[in-house]
Structure 1
Amino acid sequence: MSANAPRYPLVLVPGLLGFIRQLGYPYWYGIVSALRRHGATVFPVLVSSVNSSEVRGEQLLERIAEVRQQTGAAKVHLIGHSQGSLTARYAAAMRPEWVASVTSVAGPNQGSELADYLQGKAPHGSLRERLLAMVLRGIARCMALLETGYKGSRLPMDVAAAQQSLTSAGVAAFNAKYPQGLPATWGGEGAEEVAGVRYYSWSGTLQPGITDQGGNRFDGPNRACRIFARTFVREAGHCDGMVGRYSSHLGKVIGDSYPLDHFDIVNQTFGLVGKGADPVKLFVEHAQRLHAAGL
């Protein structure tokens, strides 16, 4: 371990339809290797790609236990992308003695307006909901077959629970149970430390002339984010295509307007990001921040 590396291992938690590696291609493209080059101990983990944040959180607790046993570390740092943020928050609320910090990266900590829109267009019990569920289950099953970074037992799927977990109402119910690190006011910052756990967050926004240039000119997910952004009302013009700028706030807000869409922020796809953006640097700098905090 480098003298500038965090004291505890970093556990990276993916979002909806997340993975570790698909046929060798990593979810955290270039991020794990960069962190390891700087001396950090890093574990990208897998939880159910489609399920509620609580179910995923219980699975994450099992992964944390495995990392603690493997490394001998008393605690871990949890870094969650998208729904991975809610998953990490649950784990920290359940076992704070196992967690040194939780970092939300583009996490829907107040829900996603995109999820609200989809629920409105495909309400519970409707044909549209059944079709959407069928598509998501199909994608998740194909991804499970292509997963090369996970060797554990088959993980359960629950499309309806996943969708509800990401809506504003679903996250509000989650927040009522697990409020650690949440801002008291909309757009503010939350407590930086709760029950011995540090809380951090960062996120990006779509910025015409920046996030639609550079590698993003050739990036399909970026185009999808620009379409998804049209569903936002409360945070119109202030979202990354899937999560709103202020909805992402948790604990100490490192930044909420990086020129990064929802996929750019984890250096997807193949590092095709906006003009001048460097998402990998944000992770390396955060590892150094945790080290400086004695963590």
Structure 2
Amino acid sequence: MDQGKRCGATETAMPAAPAWTRARMRAACRAGVLLAAVAAAWPGTAAADANANYARTRYPIVLVHGLTGAARMGGVLDYWYGIPQLLRANGARVYVATVPAFNSDEERALALQAYVRGVKLDSGADKVNLIGHSQGGPTSRMLAAMSPQDVASVTTIGSPHRGSELADLVLDVVNGINRIPLAGPLLVGVIQGVADAIGWFQGVSNGVKLDQNALAALKNLTTAGVAAQNARLNATLKPGTPSALGPDCATPGVPVEMRQARDAAGNLVSHAQAAYSWTGRGGPVSLLRSNLLDPTTALMAGAAGLMSLKGAGPNDGMVSVCSSKWGQVLATGYYWNHLDEVNQLAGLYQDADPRVVILNHANRLRNARL
């Protein structure tokens, strides 16, 4: 069995295996794939021939960050830490987008649309595969609705497809402050100004100036805001075709959405867009499983507790497992918090190596001719 199939088998077996067995399987898989990737990048080795095309998808991969993010945080720390490098070492064409750190999905999708058009020109491809983390998932779905001819697939990681109870809680606090006479609106304005300034710096440090609107982002991510957006997105589907978002948490949506767009001749053309998702549920701290060396572990645990108080159920500290399910749900059992899902902070993840999970997904896209 080749390395990619072995890792795929490891992922499939993990949920049912004892903890010590999963740990041993993960370690073997992680070491094998990463070493193979290094060998693949080194000319003249046998492994290079075996792995050079493992992640070589038909369409380029575009990585889309979430709230507060950028391709490189502050122009320094990669948001997708170590992930583009591993994908490229295994043959993928990878682009990393920077869109507004704080804004609605509509505004973020407009920035992403311009970026994707540039990717198409650079690569010569007529479509791209979008992989979005957190708000990057709904943003990618919005672009798929706006420009179906540009998008071959959308994969979401820890994305709030039914909204985030944490966003509900924060908006409740903001609204409470806003009701304080005189000082309340002033304080809310200051908080929004600071967040927008941070978002502006994120863009500028990555070479782009982008409009920011933290309050619009917050409202967009609430359960009510996402419900309204889902209705708009479903209205863009090809008439008579179903959504990748199921009617409830227990009912899966379809693995492929259908949309229509007019070609250069004005003819209405149907476009199939594959839909995938996965998430973690490692928001709460476990002394046996959590990475206590990661300073963000405690932060995510606190957020996970607040979400639990709001009735979110299992969650990664920012998004519930229920809310993350969209399209073909590949996994919900990883013991990751919201940052672990993209190999943060600086590689201090817990449970399975997120780089390997995304690498194997690139191979999945390749095998699906996407």
- TM surpasses 0.5: yes
Residue aligned with 1:217, SS: coil
Q: Is the 8 A contact 1:211 1:261 kept in 2?
A: no
1:157 aligns with 2:157: no
Superposed, 1:1-295 pairs within 5 Å as 2-4=52-54, 5-21=56-72, 22-123=74-175, 125-126=178-179, 131=187, 134-135=190-191, 137-142=193-198, 144-145=200-201, 150-152=206-208, 154-179=209-234, 180-195=243-258, 196-206=272-282, 208-209=285-286, 213=290, 216-232=291-307, 233-236=310-313, 238-274=314-350, 276-295=351-370
The aligned amino acid for 2:113 is L
**Mapped contact 1:20–1:149 kept (Cα < 8 A):** no
SS in 2 for 1:199: strand
Pair 1:130–1:176, CA change in 2 (3 A): farther
The structure whose residues are more often helix, as a share, is: 2
* Cα distance in structure 2, aligned partners of 1:164 and 1:247: 16
Q: Which amino acid aligns with 1:102?
A: V
1:234 Cα deviation from its structure 2 partner = 2.7
Greater Cα offset, 223-232 or 33-42: 223-232
Would you say the 8 A contact 2:343–2:354 is kept in 1?
A: yes
Give the distance between the partners of 2:357 and 2:255, measured in 1 at CA: 19
Give the Cα separation in 1 of the matches to 2:67 and 2:202: 16
Q: CA deviation at 1:136?
A: 5.3
Q: Which runs of 5+ in 2 are unaligned?
A: 1-50, 235-242, 259-271
What SS is found at the alignment partner of 1:218?
coil
Worse overlay, 201-210 or 240-249: 201-210
Task: Name the CA shift for 1:255/1:132 in 2 (closer, same or farther; >3 Å).
Answer: farther
Deviations 1:221-256 (A, max 9, x none): 2211111112223323x0000000011011000011
- Return the alpha-carbon distance in structure 1 between the equivalents of residues 191 and 71 of structure 2: 21
Tell me: CA distance 1:156–1:148, structure 2 relative to 1, closer, same or farther (3 Å). closer
Q: Secondary structure at the match of 2:53?
A: coil
Q: How far is the alpha carbon of 1:135 from its aligned partner?
A: 3.7
Paired residues, number: 290
Equivalent residues of 1:133, 1:159 under 8 A apart? no
Task: Tell me the amino acid that sits aligned with residue 300 of structure 2.
Answer: C
Tell me which moved more, 50-59 or 224-233. 224-233
Identity of aligned residues (%): 36
SS at match of 1:200: strand
1:190, distance to aligned residue in structure 2 (A)? 1.3
Partner Cα distance (1:23, 1:93) in 2 = 30
Shift of 1:147: 5.7
Deviation at 1:146, TM superposition (A): 6.0
Superposed CA RMSD:
2.1
**Alpha carbons 1:24, 1:148 under 8 Å: kept:** no
Structure 2 vs 1, CA of residues 38 and 148 (structure 1 numbering), >3 Å: closer, same or farther?
farther
TM-fit CA distance, 1:122: 1.8
After superposition, the Cα gap between the structure-2 partners of 1:231 and 1:172, relative to the gap in structure 1 and judged at 3 Å, is same
How has the CA–CA distance of structure 1 residues 8 and 210 changed in structure 2, closer, same or farther, with 3 Å as cutoff?
farther
> Contact 1:122 / 1:129 at 8 angstroms: preserved in 2?
no
Contact map agreement 1:246 1:256 (CA 8 A) in 2: no
SS in 1 for 2:57: coil
Query: Equivalents in 2 of 1:77, 1:248: separation in Å?
Result: 19
Specify the SS of the correspondent of 1:122. Answer: helix
Distance in 2, Cα, partners of 1:272 & 1:133: 35
State the 1:39 CA deviation.
0.7
What is the TM-score normalised by the length of structure 2? 0.74
Larger Rg computed on CA atoms: 2
